[in-house]
Chain A
Amino acid sequence: MSIPADLKYTPSHEWVRVEADGTLTVGITHHAQDLLGDMVFIENPAAGRTLAKGEECAVVESVKAASDVYAPVAGEVIAANGDVEASPEAVNKDAYAAWMFKIKPANPADVNELLDAAAYQKLVESEAH
């Protein structure tokens, strides 16, 4: 259950859900929150901001450490989740419910370059060794 099959992933541990209208919802994976521990601060990109693929666009901080969140594809931020900024612990409770921001991708085909669940699973396993 920690790597849902219906989502896409990045090597930097973001998850991406492709919505029916082609927009993307982004968060950090269960594995990422597990590595970081108790979340205490989240900063999302402002709606309207244009992102390049791989651009540092958000920050998640646990008691232990700060970690950057990267844009999974190029696009425009169309929404940011104020609820997770107010309650960062939501990411620890359910990383896939606690989305961070939504993007309208510049090129819808870019999502095909993201990892599927099986590929992400392999990546997590390889990093454990």
Chain B
Amino acid sequence: MNQAALKQTPLNATHRELGAKMVDFGGWDMPVNYGSQLSEHHAVRSGCGLFDVSHMLPLDIRGANVRAFLRRLVANNVDKLQVSGKALYSCMLNEAGGVIDDLILYFMDENWFRLVVNAGTAEKDLAWMEKMNADWGMGLTLTPRRDLAMIAIQGPDATRVLNEALPGVDPITSTLKPFNAAAMGEMFIARTGYTGEDGFEAMVPAKSAPFFWKALMEAGGKPIGLGARDTLRLEAGMNLYGQDMDETTSPLESGLAWTVDLKTERDFVGRRALEASEVTKQLAGLVLLDKGVLRSHQKVHTRHGEGEITSGTFSPTMQQSIALARIPLGIAPGEDVEVEIRDKKLRAKVVKYPFVRNGKILI
């Protein structure tokens, strides 16, 4: 492995000082854990965890046509965003209705939206958006914000930790509703996350990130690696791009129908393909009844045919294995299915997800 070729976030040296185990995560040198993935997981459910998510890309789109552009570009409807700071989760589709990426859009004003896209897809996304910008003659300016670091502060104790680490943030943390953001000087603070807990995602200038991170730790925030980030998001029933959906899958077969707006007449990329397609599969939750661990790509046998696990893990909160699986329509929560694990067929139960929210098991 050529470490020199890996990209680094502004917190790279901080992670190394903390003794993190670093891994190549889609070309980025990122912390997978700082000791124990399980303790980190529990720290977020019971206290407050800090995540360096600076590998994700904030992207500012400016210009008079920005709303019109996004109406056509993404599957969810940006007209739901009318108050400055309001956020929307959406898929960006290709013409075939496959998912190019999932992203968050923040409405700032009629000339400015901020998007946050996945790390592994950032370059592809940017190229696609620039092409659409040109093809549709929108005349917008797209600015990748690699000058910003992004830190997620998550858990029941997140508000207290952020208040203590950042004097003056109180008026924001006490009033900011979920899925809203506010600017504070050069900082951008959103009440969003990927854990199923209350919390914030803060964008700060790259050079202040190490100092901010230390202040958050002094206030009681625990550093959390990408390992626990994955078990937390899976318990929270949140999709992971590249695993639960990609360019070859429909959002309607990926548990994302709620993010696709087909009610309005709006013409967006991928709409015609989605409307012409027949939905035959669904994304369902599974809980393993036998002993073992569900993993992605394991085959699922149901009474309506085969399916496949898209994300699987051991749930530290539930102390049993859980998964998201793409299975045939018509299989309902409560039914038993069989999962092929190595040479065995193990029993699993279909459940409605999320599995865990705000520290509580929902299954």
Pairwise interchain contact B295-A63, C-beta atoms closer than 8 A: no
Question: Known: A59-B342, A63-B38. Contact between A40 and B33, CB under 8 A?
Answer: no
A100 to chain B, nearest CB (A): 16
A76-129 at interface with B (beta carbon < 8 Å):
92
Within 8 A of B (CB), among A7-65: 37-38, 40-41, 43, 59, 61, 63-64
In the bound assembly, the distance between CA atoms of A66 and B36 in angstroms comes to 17
| Nearest CB in chain B: distance from A62 CB, A | 8
Q: Check A64–B291 contact: CB distance below 8 A.
A: no
A64 contacts B342, CB within 8 Å?
A: no
Determine if B342 and A40 form an interchain contact, defined as CB atoms under 8 angstroms apart.
no
CB nearest neighbor in B for A64: B227
The A contact surface, by secondary structure, is strand
Q: How large is the interface on A (under 10, 10 to 19, 20 to 34, 35 or more residues)?
A: 10 to 19
A38 near B36: Cβ-Cβ < 8 Å: yes
Q: Pick the contact of B314 from A41, A43, A59, A92 — CB < 8 Å?
A: A41
| Partner of A63 from B227, B291, B292, B342 at Cβ < 8 Å | B227
* Interface size range of chain B in the complex: 10 to 19
Indicate if the CB atoms of B227 and A66 lie closer than 8 Å: no
Query: Which of A37, A38, A64 has the most CB atoms of chain B within a 10 A radius of its CB?
Result: A38
Chain B residues lying within 8 Å of A61, measured Cβ to Cβ, are: 292-293, 314
Cβ of B313 within 8 Å of any chain A Cβ, yes or no, is: yes
A92 CA to B38 CA in the complex, in Å? 12
Measured between C-beta atoms, what is the minimum distance from B348 to chain A in Å? 15
Q: A33 vs B38: C-alpha distance in the bound complex, in angstroms?
A: 14
Expressed in whole angstroms, the Cα–Cα distance for A43 and B32 within the complex equals 25
A61 CB → nearest B CB, Å? 5
* Residue on B nearest A41 in the bound complex, by CB: B293
B37 within 8 A of A: yes
Report chain A residues within 8 Å CB of B36.
37-38, 92
Task: Tell me, in angstroms, the Cα distance from A63 to B235 when the chains sit together.
Answer: 13
Q: Is the CB of A64 within 8 A of B37?
A: yes
Report the minimal beta-carbon distance from A66 to chain B, rounded to whole angstroms: 6
Which residues of the other chain, A, contact B291 by a CB distance below 8 angstroms? 41, 43
Cross-chain contact B295 with A66 (CB below 8 angstroms): yes
Q: Which of A37, A41, A59, A92 contacts B33 (CB 8 A)?
A: A37
Query: When chains A and B are docked, how far (Å) is the Cα of A40 from the Cα of B320?
Result: 9
Q: Which residues on B sit within 8 Å (CB–CB) of A59?
A: 342
A59-B342, A61-B314 known; A38+B37 contact, CB < 8 A: yes
* Nearest neighbor of A92 in chain B, beta-carbon distance: B36
Specify which chain B residues have a CB less than 8 angstroms from the CB of A92 in the assembled complex. 36
Contact A37 to B227, CB < 8 A, known contacts A63-B314, A63-B316: yes
Bound: A99/B33 CA distance, A: 26
Partner-A contacts on B (CB < 8 A): 32-33, 36-38, 41, 227, 231, 291-293, 295, 313-314, 316, 321, 342
Query: Which residues of A does B touch, CB under 8 Å?
Result: 37-38, 40-41, 43, 59, 61, 63-64, 66, 92
Q: List 10 A-B contacts (CB under 8 A).
A: A37-B32, A37-B33, A40-B314, A41-B293, A43-B291, A63-B41, A63-B314, A64-B32, A66-B295, A92-B36
